[in-house]
Amino acid sequence: MKKLATLSVFTLGIVSFLGAKISTPAIFGSNMVLQRGHACPVWGWADPNASVTLSFAGKDYNAKADESGNWRITLLPMKASSEPRDMVIAETKKLTKSLLFKNVLVGEVWLCSGQSNMKWSIDRSDDADLETLSGNYPNLRLITVPNIGSQEPQKNFDGSWQEASPSTVSSFSAVGYLFGKRLHNILGVPVGLINNAWGGSACEAWIPREKLRANPLSQSYLKMWEDKEKTYSYEALYNSYEEKLAQWKSNQASGTARGRPPKKPRNDMTGQHRPANLYNGVLYPIMGYGIRGAIWYQGESNAGRGYAYRETFPLMIQSWRQAWGQGDFPFYWVQLADFRNEVTEPGHSEWAELRESQTLSLDKLKNVGEAVIIDAGEGRDIHPRNKQIVANRLLRHALARDYGHPIPHQSPRYQSMEIKGDKILLSFKSVDGSLYSFDTRSPTGFSICGSDQKFIWAEAKIVGKDKVEVWANSVPSPIAVRYAWSDNPICNLYDKIGAVTLPVTPFRTDDFALTTLGK
């Protein structure tokens, strides 16, 4: 195998000879990180029925391509290693048809996915200059999957692994990078990050259609798209755009043009809202690559279908796990931040309903966690710039659950209520320290109602370590309580564990009419 290692290579580490057919998807390449302790699959294409060999870390592997040229090799589990090593893949009878991947490490690999708040880059986040200037981590590796929407499963994509440096971290996912950087520093092992987020993406676009068809709460959205697909014509939209643009230019030449030129139409059929588009176009090309787990930040685009999300979101996670073939790998998500205007009176909130569905997913799946950031949003911007706090709260879950660090990681959740005369006593679970009201002596953000189901702001008092008493003088017979139940709530209840504070998860004790059920 020594002879193979001396073959000439391009700067990306991939040998390319005229007529060479052996290849792998771009998720495999120079500078990649393989998941430690995992039987990592490597797959690709060669001549039909060709014999394929793979050499890595002192071990040789063999496989035979099928009639279509598909081959697959599974590596033996390995310990973490920062030693840069070569991986050589070849057809045994055609040594010139070979691949050489250089500078390959073994460590921890995490998938970073979701919509724009996950895609949001370092150069647009708080302290971008400091994060970029300090972003020199040769053993932290990054790869980004381009945004390709398709109904047909895509086998490959245009991308490559890169070492983390000031020139590469700037445009990478801020939440992903900050999560991975801290993980790398704490564990002392190589870390690989796969960024496949797409701004504005709907959860349904990340799920295969056959799964959506079997889910009752997905039918409304699926039918809307199926109806649209019957009549939609991007060609007609584009032709209309060209006519309007020509007319605008003519008017501009004659001095009669007003306003801006017409906007080029978006092709919805290749976009990030169409069911299954992202599952096939963005996820499929990397599906099966050895990972430790996934972090996820999405939900804004599903806020109008908050009730359905309680089924759609767990369905998405289950679909990924099933297709990945790696069991119930860790999956940690970010609950929606506070956003939009503060309200003067309690009422309905689509964002609160979506947050509730996110939280309910904790009880439906194994090996999952939620990072609550109800205190980190910006009323005027759907993209909070403080991505450090988001990454830190996600990382706490990974460190505590996957790496054996006994640190606080779960936000307290509502457990039960007891009506005591004109007051309601709330009990909370997952309180590692004691409940604490930030900035004021009394908790804020609570509302209460009687049998009329009309909520009004309430007073509250912390009782002991894990209980809160809630009341309102004008509600002598209360029946339900809500906390932080609005798009942008004013709330301040935390679990204080020494110097660590984690916000209490927004909740409601009632199950009154859900107005987004049919959306």
Q: What is the pLDDT of residues 165-211, one digit of tens each?
A: 999 999 999 999 999 999 999 999 999 999 999 999 999 999 999 99
**423-441: pLDDT as tens digits:** 999 999 999 999 999 999 9
**Rounded CA separation 163/120 (Å):** 19
pLDDT for the residue numbered 190: 99
The total of other beta-carbon atoms located within 10 Å of residue 109's CB is 25
Per the model's pLDDT, the better-predicted residue between 154 and 98 turns out to be: 154
**pLDDT, mean of residues 271-288:** 98
Answer whether residue 502 shows pLDDT above 70: yes
Confidence class of residue 360 from pLDDT cuts 50, 70 and 90?
very high
- Return the SS3 of 13: coil
**pLDDT, mean of residues 493-515:** 93
Of 2-6, 18-22, 115-119, 508-512, which gets the smallest average pLDDT?
2-6
Answer whether residue 60 shows pLDDT above 50: yes
**404-425: pLDDT as tens digits:** 999 999 999 999 999 999 999 9
- First-to-last alpha carbon distance for the chain, in angstroms, is 60
**pLDDT, mean of residues 341-365:** 97
**pLDDT, mean of residues 473-486:** 98
**Rounded CA separation 437/357 (Å):** 25
CB 406 within 8 A of CB 324: no
- Return the SS3 of 162: strand
Residue 426's nearest CA partner among 387, 394, 458, 403 is: 458
- Return the SS3 of 64: strand
Token output for 280: 């096939």
pLDDT for the residue numbered 5: 35
Confidence class of residue 96 from pLDDT cuts 50, 70 and 90?
low
Token output for 126: 């708080």
Answer whether residue 362 shows pLDDT above 90: yes
Helices and strands: H and E segment counts in the chain:
11, 24
Answer whether residue 14 shows pLDDT above 70: no
Indicate the pTM of the whole model.
0.94
Residue 97's nearest CA partner among 89, 105, 109, 108 is: 89
SS in 3 state form for 318-358?
Answer: HHHHHHHCCCCCCEEEECCCCCCCCCCCCCCCHHHHHHHHH
| H/E run at residue 469 | strand 467-471
Answer whether residue 18 shows pLDDT above 70: no
Answer whether residue 475 shows pLDDT above 70: yes
Strand boundaries in 20-93, DSSP class E: 33-35, 41-45, 51-56, 59-64, 70-74, 81-91
**Rounded CA separation 332/26 (Å):** 25
Q: What is the largest CA-CA distance in the chain?
A: 86
Half-sphere exposure of 332 (CA within 13 A, CB side): 28
pLDDT for the residue numbered 513: 72
Mean pLDDT of the chain: 94
**pLDDT, mean of residues 39-52:** 96
CB 274 within 8 A of CB 225: yes
**Rounded CA separation 128/126 (Å):** 5
Answer whether residue 4 shows pLDDT above 90: no
Alpha helices per DSSP H over 336-464: 350-360, 387-402
Residue 240's nearest CA partner among 259, 220, 265, 222 is: 265
**Rounded CA separation 276/288 (Å):** 18
Confidence class of residue 121 from pLDDT cuts 50, 70 and 90?
very high
pLDDT for the residue numbered 93: 74
**Rounded CA separation 189/78 (Å):** 13
**pLDDT, mean of residues 41-49:** 96
pLDDT for the residue numbered 21: 80
Answer whether residue 297 shows pLDDT above 50: yes
10: exposed, middle or buried (Cβ count in 10 Å: 0-12, 13-18, 19+): exposed
Answer whether residue 6 shows pLDDT above 70: no
pLDDT for the residue numbered 242: 96
How far does CA 256 lie from the centroid of its chain? 48
Share of residues in the chain with pLDDT > 70 (%): 94
pLDDT for the residue numbered 301: 98
For residue 80, CA distances in Å to 38, 84, 191, 235, 289 come to: 11, 11, 10, 52, 17
CB 268 within 8 A of CB 232: yes
pLDDT for the residue numbered 17: 32
pLDDT for the residue numbered 9: 33
Q: What is the CA radius of gyration of the chain?
A: 26
For residue 84, CA distances in Å to 123, 160, 289 come to: 29, 17, 19
**451-472: pLDDT as tens digits:** 999 999 999 999 999 999 999 9
pLDDT for the residue numbered 92: 83
389: exposed, middle or buried (Cβ count in 10 Å: 0-12, 13-18, 19+): middle
Per the model's pLDDT, the better-predicted residue between 11 and 248 turns out to be: 248
pLDDT for the residue numbered 94: 62
Tokens 């010139």 identify what position? 96
CB 482 within 8 A of CB 356: no
Confidence class of residue 11 from pLDDT cuts 50, 70 and 90?
very low
**Rounded CA separation 21/182 (Å):** 40
Answer whether residue 518 shows pLDDT above 50: no
pLDDT for the residue numbered 514: 63
**pLDDT, mean of residues 139-145:** 98
